[in-house]
Structure 1
């Protein structure tokens, strides 16, 4: 690879990058000098520059550092990494997050980045990977006389109109794709990650990622020189127009930037027994770019979207594999990676189909990683494969109960009893009527038997799934109840107005549910369990995590959206208008009464004046008579 690069570029040992001789032109895309220089210092100063580097994770302080340093970035390619082939051309490699992942997978990578500084940052990130080479050159100028088996455009295609040659009337998007195709082997694969112009989050008021304004993409407010995104149909057509008409679609959630879950078209078929609504909505809840007040609750909207088979059209982002040849079909149909943890406890959940049916498999993402915390020795991940079951995730049902106005403590009690009976059945060899108190000791293998992991089928049957955590020895049943309900209640981001005397505080609601089950758990127990839970969280995250007890007294916020606020404002305006109308009517009535009073008063005054005139005339007559007599 270095021989091919040297035909057009010179190697700069100081920056570990390749560039054209005498090239000094700047590139217009940047996160800002201060931000990029900070990222450069962090990477150069880190001893561990790997995808799992704790040093880099600890340096995350804002959106830019999160995007460039987070290990979650690699999740966009993990689902398809085993089917990629090298050499790989990465176009628009930025600060090297994806380059690092591909390099660690053993691929020969040529990473092309238009910004010399960003290319140098990426090269520093991959300085211990001789199979990764960074080229500081705009892509439209790149050509080393070699074709590639895989080319990636991760968050890049949308910028073509901003940076590509505008001397032609041809759309720079198509020009870029034609250039990409010219560098692709006949059986090669182009991998594109891009936002969906009509993704659900953008209907919900999330700012368009490049213009920064809500509804800008939905309303197609793009220009001939701005970034631009596409819906599924249009993106697929553009690929076909350049000869890449064989497609495999994946849908990352919350989007391609920091994916938590990734599903394929195969996962969305009706024949698949699982309902992925909970996984999708849970992943979307982690979106770091969410507005303070979305226009509506995406959590609940996804349910209808899944039910109506519209996920592929309304997913927030796409990952598209496009080729001129058929693409080998994988057995996997989806993946879930979860959030940040100690690498030793990071897991990959794979959903797939084999001859015996659909399955779910849990495995370590980093099998060789060693836990950082000494407390971690008490816990282990339960790995392996099991059938993929159908059913409603019971944790989500609580959210549907509490979203309605007028929800009651009894309703939440009925909800918790379904889970508690399933839990008792599991820990008591099938006896759902077994008496278990909160201080009853149960095996630590049941640590994760929570509503989050309980599926309830249409016939009422229950199955616990994805019980990933085991704790050595025994634990109090009350602790499992606490962590289960604490997780479920905090999963209710907002709620409807409850019935009178129904607690809305986290701790009070939790104890209300415990009392419904007939347990004598009190506030002291809750405090003990709270401390125990955060010891567990610290162990699995590899760093101290201190829970704030104040959260137990926190009231769940009322459900508020701009739409509900507008409706509330309209109701207030209507009330005001009615009050003004009443005031106007009262004013008119008062004005009428005043007018009547004035007319009556004028009449009386007129009569009084008439009578006075008559008296004056009578007096004058009398005086005249008296004067004549004299």
Structure 2
């Protein structure tokens, strides 16, 4: 192709399709590279939306590099089609692939040869992409690129060193290769992320609170609070704006701007989905992540506590890669590609609306669809009010009334509105219930199954939003469903629930991907439904909180102490009894000894037995 860059002008050797600048071999391999190469080389669909690749993911190492959600961190941005892009640390190429589909020139640099080989295989049909083994040090310091992409890389630059100098040097190198008006895109975890505050382990060390404590222990990486990162970018010559990514930049579902926090705390609180997934190590169940986020939003500081940051750092004066009309982006990318949706929050505080579009507009509709209609509204006003589920928690005295009002809205129609469930209702200030996010109509759901669906999902959502103690006396999902059903005057028996399971699993099979590695706490199969139905309310949240576990352990310890005290009292009593018996026995022996030689032996023995009987002891005769 005619497009070129100084990097492409270098005469360097080629191996396995990638070009070799140097051999840094920094040791970042995670062991999945060989399996990934086999999967990618055998695949026919290499696209950034490939379900063939996603379905081959079996663990975190393969999921991270194969699922379409991985590229959402860049999908959220407005990349110029004619842009020349430098990607530093491309890994196994999931973002490289998307960049190559969208931009004119993509130079991707990766220090690990095994990973570069996978990235080259993933982009083998794109002449827009060149993959290099090397580091940013190998890139000519010439302002040749419109965009420099640094996704999950800055934190590793100095191998966890606390000295800022190497990170600043790296950012200044990025500045040097950007054209005036170009943008550096940095995606990185937030050391103060709400998931870390709530007890999740630090992503790089698998230890809780490491980043909150400033990496007091040795770490292979270092992340930066927002103010620190902003200052570092400024000192490197950039002007930056920040976006918050949830659950993180790795598999982002929601990307929020600062403007959203100012214009709609309601949406800022509601759009992230909690709890964030624990990819490798289960967290300590400490504070509730969703409730903590709610408090941070209400306190006006939440933008500093997003789980990950996407920093858009501009060199000089240039157009932003994030439209001023856009306040947030949501991705429903865990669905079959034909049903995947991108939703944007647009407008001003007085006139916010959702704008929806296909996430993969070029993907043909391949599903049967004879029993499923997907008709999301292209635009929908943001309804100002309170989430119905939150009202049910905040005002439990109104629960029965509000649920009956919801049930009255549920119709009995051939094409059932399966999204007409309590978590898609908003209670406005005038006390009117308004439905939102009505995407799906499904044939086969009768009204009874729609009610079961709404009650079941409500029970699961309520359990995930609050502490189980607030939902007592219900202790399981099934018990909470029964209590909610009683509120609307219905009873759910096993036959009704099994009928719902069959209908729901058939619907989910049409809509969702077959990728089992992307469960993300979603409920899909009939077995999933039945399993969750049997869960305790604590299990829905990932298990008992640490304070509950501690209380239970303390109670067990108290019981053990009480048992030990009782055993000690019994032992002391036995010791006292034994001492008394020993004294009586000694007295008896003395009395017997005194009788010897004075009376016949038979008489002495009878006397001895009498003495022993009085002491409660027995003769050995």
Which TM class, normalised by the smaller chain length?
A: 0.7 to 0.9
Q: Distance in 2 between matches of 1:499 and 1:43?
A: 48
Corresponding residue for residue 155 of structure 2: 158
Corresponding residue for residue 221 of structure 2: 227
Question: In the TM superposition, what is the alpha-carbon distance from 1:505 to its structure 2 partner?
Answer: 4.3
User: What SS does structure 2 have at the residue aligned with 1:263?
Assistant: strand
Deviates more, 1:232-241 or 1:453-462: 453-462
Mapped pair 1:149 → 2:128: no
Mapped contact 2:80–2:103 kept (Cα < 8 A): no
Report matched runs for 1:239-258 at 5 Å: 239-244=233-238, 246-258=239-251
Once the two structures are superposed, residues 215-274 of structure 1 have per-residue CA deviations (whole angstroms, 9 ceiling, x without a partner) of 222222367983111111111111111111x221111111110011111111111x3263
Mapped contact 2:70–2:252 kept (Cα < 8 A): yes
Q: Structure 1 367/399 Cα, relative in aligned 2: closer, same or farther at 3 Å?
A: farther
Q: Distance in 1 between matches of 2:558 and 2:478?
A: 38
Mapped pair 1:479 → 2:464: no
Q: Structure 1 503/573 Cα, relative in aligned 2: closer, same or farther at 3 Å?
A: closer
Q: Distance in 1 between matches of 2:8 and 2:294?
A: 54
Corresponding residue for residue 485 of structure 2: 514
Q: Distance in 2 between matches of 1:219 and 1:577?
A: 36
Question: In the TM superposition, what is the alpha-carbon distance from 1:466 to its structure 2 partner?
Answer: 1.1
Mapped pair 1:267 → 2:260: yes
User: What SS does structure 2 have at the residue aligned with 1:60?
Assistant: coil
Aligned with 1:490 (options 446, 460, 465) = 460
Mapped pair 1:106 → 2:71: no
Higher relative contact order (CA 8 A, sep 6+): 2
Question: In the TM superposition, what is the alpha-carbon distance from 1:522 to its structure 2 partner?
Answer: 3.6
Once the two structures are superposed, residues 418-444 of structure 1 have per-residue CA deviations (whole angstroms, 9 ceiling, x without a partner) of 1441452x46xxxxxxxxxxxx62363
Mapped contact 2:204–2:219 kept (Cα < 8 A): no
Mapped pair 1:551 → 2:531: yes
Q: Distance in 1 between matches of 2:394 and 2:482?
A: 20
Q: Distance in 2 between matches of 1:144 and 1:242?
A: 15
Runs of 5+ consecutive residues of structure 1 not aligned to the other structure: 402-410, 428-439, 613-630
Mapped contact 2:24–2:112 kept (Cα < 8 A): no
Mapped contact 2:112–2:133 kept (Cα < 8 A): yes
Q: Distance in 2 between matches of 1:385 and 1:2?
A: 41
User: What SS does structure 1 have at the residue aligned with 2:286?
Assistant: coil
Aligned with 1:307 (options 277, 298, 319) = 298
Q: Structure 1 170/303 Cα, relative in aligned 2: closer, same or farther at 3 Å?
A: closer
Aligned with 1:565 (options 549, 556, 560) = 549
Question: In the TM superposition, what is the alpha-carbon distance from 1:398 to its structure 2 partner?
Answer: 5.7
Mapped contact 1:382–1:470 kept (Cα < 8 A): no
Corresponding residue for residue 420 of structure 2: 449
TM, length-normalised to structure 2: 0.82
Aligned with 2:184 (options 190, 202, 208) = 190
Question: In the TM superposition, what is the alpha-carbon distance from 1:147 to its structure 2 partner?
Answer: 2.2
User: What SS does structure 1 have at the residue aligned with 2:159?
Assistant: helix
Computed over aligned residues only, the root mean square deviation of the Cα atoms, in angstroms, reads 3.8
Corresponding residue for residue 628 of structure 1: none
Mapped contact 1:89–1:110 kept (Cα < 8 A): yes
Q: Structure 1 322/341 Cα, relative in aligned 2: closer, same or farther at 3 Å?
A: same
Question: In the TM superposition, what is the alpha-carbon distance from 1:116 to its structure 2 partner?
Answer: 1.9
Corresponding residue for residue 16 of structure 1: 17
TM, length-normalised to structure 1: 0.81
Aligned with 2:69 (options 48, 69, 72) = 72
Mapped pair 1:320 → 2:311: yes
Aligned with 1:529 (options 500, 503, 519) = 500
Corresponding residue for residue 116 of structure 1: 113
Corresponding residue for residue 343 of structure 2: 349
Q: Structure 1 486/376 Cα, relative in aligned 2: closer, same or farther at 3 Å?
A: farther
Q: Distance in 2 between matches of 1:290 and 1:395?
A: 30
Runs of 5+ consecutive residues of structure 2 not aligned to the other structure: 516-523, 596-621
Mapped pair 1:49 → 2:46: yes
Mapped contact 1:394–1:419 kept (Cα < 8 A): no
Question: In the TM superposition, what is the alpha-carbon distance from 1:117 to its structure 2 partner?
Answer: 2.1
Q: Distance in 1 between matches of 2:256 and 2:121?
A: 33
Question: In the TM superposition, what is the alpha-carbon distance from 1:585 to its structure 2 partner?
Answer: 8.0
Mapped contact 1:112–1:138 kept (Cα < 8 A): yes
Once the two structures are superposed, residues 456-510 of structure 1 have per-residue CA deviations (whole angstroms, 9 ceiling, x without a partner) of 24553322111121336x842222212222222233248525888x554444543
Mapped contact 2:274–2:290 kept (Cα < 8 A): no
Report matched runs for 1:396-407 at 5 Å: 396=390
Q: Distance in 2 between matches of 1:569 and 1:277?
A: 34
Mapped pair 1:36 → 2:15: no
Mapped contact 1:371–1:542 kept (Cα < 8 A): no
Q: Distance in 2 between matches of 1:84 and 1:390?
A: 37
Corresponding residue for residue 364 of structure 2: 370
Question: In the TM superposition, what is the alpha-carbon distance from 1:356 to its structure 2 partner?
Answer: 6.4
What number of residue pairs does the alignment pair up? Answer: 578
Mapped contact 1:4–1:146 kept (Cα < 8 A): no
Mapped pair 1:203 → 2:197: yes
